[in-house]
Amino acid sequence: MIIIGGGFGGLAVQRRLTGIDARVALIDRQNHHVFQPLLYQVATASLSPASISAPIRATINDQAECDVVLAEVKGIDPDRKRVIFDEGSVGYDYLVLAAGATHNYFGNDDWAPHAPGLKSLSDATEIRRRLLLAFESAEHEGDLESQRAELTFAVVGGGPTGVELCGAIKEIATHTLPREYQNIDPRAVRVILLEGAPRLLGAFPEELSARAKRDLEDLGVEVRLGTQVTEINGDGVRVGDEFIPAGNTIWAAGVQANPLTKDLGAELDRSGRVIVGSDLSVPGHPEIFAIGDLVSYTPEGSEHPLPGVAQTAMQMGRFVGDTIRDEIRGTRTRDQRGVFSYHDKGSMAIIGKNRAVAAVGDRKFTGFIAWLMWAFVHIAFLVGFRNRIRVMFNWGWKWLLGSHDARLIIGDTRMRIRTPRTDEFEYHAPGDPDRG
C-alpha cells in the first residue's frame, strides 16, 4: 500500500499498520512532518522551524515496516493502480491520499506574490522575513505616510489562522520590536483583519466569534467583517471603494485540495475536495482512500462537511489505517467496512497572551482558562518529546519576558531595504571638523 502525505492524516494511517505483512510506502515531498497549528508562531518569530517539525523517518511507527520516500507525486492512475513520478511509477494495492491542501486565491493567482499564505515551513519563514524586513525598512523611512504603509499588515481571512496571525503580529510589534527601533512608534503599526463573512471564526459558536473580535480589538487589531477583497498588489489591498495602503498582506482566506484529487475520476467540490463515501473511500475505487483537508465528508445527519483541521485528519487516518490493516490481515472483508464517525473534541483559537477562545461540546471558554487549555493541548499534540520541552521553554520565556527570539531574516534582504535617508545621515562626532 502507498500513503501519499506525511501530515497528521498520513502519519495516523501508518501508525495503525502494526503487524501486517505488506510493503508500505509513505511518500512526501518534504522530509519532515510539520505541526501546522503552530506555523503562525514560526511566521511571527516565536519558534524555530525545527521546534514544530520532525523528520518523517523519525516519526513513523517502527513496528510497521515502511519505506519513507522523499519524492513529488506527479499523478495517480487509478485504473492501472499506479502512482506516477517524473520518472516512472509504482504500483499499489491500497492507496491513501493524504496530500493536504494549498492556498486558494479564488482565481486571482496574481495576488499570490503579494499575499503569501501559510501552509509550509517555507511559507512561514517567508512571512517572517517580510515581517522583519518591514520594520528594518520602516526604521529608515523618512516619510511618515510611507512608514505607516510599510508597517500596515493586512490579513485576509478571519478563521483561526487569520485570528492567530493578527494577535501574534500585534504582539511582536507592540512588545518586542519597539525596544529596538528608535524611529518607529509602536502605534504606527496597523494590523487589519479582513473577513468576508459577518463574523470571525465561522466554525465556532457566535458568542466566541464576538469575544475573539473584542479581544483582537483590545489588542489594537482593526477587524473588518463582511469585507470583500477585490484587489491585492504590492502597495496594498482594495476593499470595495477603499484602497488600504499596506506593505504586507497575508493570505489566510481559502484553501484548495491538492490537485492530485483530479486524477481520481471522482466528484470534487468547488475547492477540489473529493467527496468520499462513508468508509472514506473514493466512489468506484474501494482500494483508494482520501483523508484530511483534501476530502469533503458530511456525516449523516449533519449539514456541514467536517472542518479541515488536524483532528479530522487524525481521526480519518486512524479509521482508514484500521480498515486497511484488518483487510490485509484478513480479519475483515471489504463488505464489513464501518462508517466513519467524527468525534468533535472542540475548537480553539489563541488571540494573544492569556487570551484565547475554546468550544468543547456545549461549553465555552475564554480568556486565561482558554489560553491555558490551548497551550496544554498544543504541547500535548506536538510530535516529539524534545520539541515539547523546547516549545514549553520558549513559551515560558516569552510569557515571562515578552521577547521573541527567532528573529532571523534568511534569504534576500534587499527586497525592500533602502539605504538610510542619505543626505541626513552623517555619522560624526560633534567635534569633528568634517561634520556635515
Min dist CB 79 to its own copies, Å, is 12
Min dist CB 177 to its own copies, Å, is 9
Tell me: does residue 143 bind its own copies (CB under 8 A).
no
Applying the rule CB under 8 A, the residues between 95 and 124 that interact with its own copies are 121-122
Alpha helices in 188-227 (DSSP H): 206-219
Let me know: does 235 contact 242? Beta carbons within 8 Å: no
Identify the active-site residue in 139, 141, 150, 164: 164
Min dist CB 34 to its own copies, Å, is 9
Per-residue x/- track, 331-370, its own copies (CB under 8 A): ----------------------------------------
Give the interface segment with its own copies, choosing from 65-73, 218-226, 349-357, 362-370 (CB under 8 A): 65-73
Work out the burial of residue 361: count CB atoms within 10 Å of its CB; fewer than 13 is exposed, 13-18 middle, 19 or more buried. Answer: exposed
Tell me: does residue 151 bind its own copies (CB under 8 A).
no
Let me know: does 277 contact 323? Beta carbons within 8 Å: no
Min dist CB 147 to its own copies, Å, is 15
Min dist CB 72 to its own copies, Å, is 7
Which of 106, 368, 376, 425 is the binder for its own copies (CB under 8 A)? 425
Min dist CB 405 to its own copies, Å, is 6
Residue number, 125 or 261, with CB nearest to its own copies? 125
Between CA 431 and CA 435 the distance in angstroms is: 8
Task: State the number of CA atoms in the 13 A half-sphere of 71 facing the CB.
Answer: 20
Adjacent-strand bridge partners of 53: 34
Residue number, 203 or 379, with CB nearest to its own copies? 379
Which of 144, 339, 369, 389 is the binder for its own copies (CB under 8 A)? 389
Tell me: does residue 384 bind its own copies (CB under 8 A).
yes
User: Which of these, 113, 37, 134, 76, lies nearest to 377 by C-alpha position?
Assistant: 37
Contacts of 338 (CB under 8 A, 6+ apart): 279, 319, 323
Tell me: does residue 57 bind its own copies (CB under 8 A).
yes
Between CA 273 and CA 259 the distance in angstroms is: 9
Between CA 120 and CA 107 the distance in angstroms is: 21
Tell me: does residue 430 bind its own copies (CB under 8 A).
yes
Tell me: does residue 304 bind its own copies (CB under 8 A).
no
Q: Which long-range contacts (CB under 8 A, 24 or more apart) does 336-340 make?
A: 337/279, 337/281, 338/279, 339/278, 339/279, 339/300, 340/278, 340/279, 340/280, 340/297, 340/299, 340/315, 340/316
Which of 18, 70, 75, 392 is the binder for its own copies (CB under 8 A)? 70
Tell me: does residue 71 bind its own copies (CB under 8 A).
yes
Work out the burial of residue 423: count CB atoms within 10 Å of its CB; fewer than 13 is exposed, 13-18 middle, 19 or more buried. Answer: exposed
| Centroid of chain to Cα 108 | 20
Which of 38, 39, 43, 69 is the binder for its own copies (CB under 8 A)? 69
Q: How far from each other are the two terminal CA atoms of the chain, in whole angstroms?
A: 74
**Active-site residue flag, 65:** no
Give the interface segment with its own copies, choosing from 179-187, 197-205, 215-223, 339-347 (CB under 8 A): 179-187
Residue number, 125 or 161, with CB nearest to its own copies? 125
Min dist CB 82 to its own copies, Å, is 9
Let me know: does 251 contact 111? Beta carbons within 8 Å: yes
Residue number, 180 or 242, with CB nearest to its own copies? 180
Residue number, 279 or 405, with CB nearest to its own copies? 405
Give the interface segment with its own copies, choosing from 7-15, 100-108, 248-256, 420-428 (CB under 8 A): 420-428
Which of 107, 240, 301, 330 is the binder for its own copies (CB under 8 A)? 330
Let me know: does 317 contact 11? Beta carbons within 8 Å: yes
Min dist CB 165 to its own copies, Å, is 20
Q: In degrees rounded to 5, what are phi and psi of residue 68?
A: -95, 120
| Centroid of chain to Cα 72 | 20
In the numeric block, which cell numbers belong to residue 418?
533602502
Tell me: does residue 426 bind its own copies (CB under 8 A).
yes
Applying the rule CB under 8 A, the residues between 32 and 51 that interact with its own copies are 32, 48-51
Tell me: does residue 380 bind its own copies (CB under 8 A).
no
Active site (catalytic) residues: 164
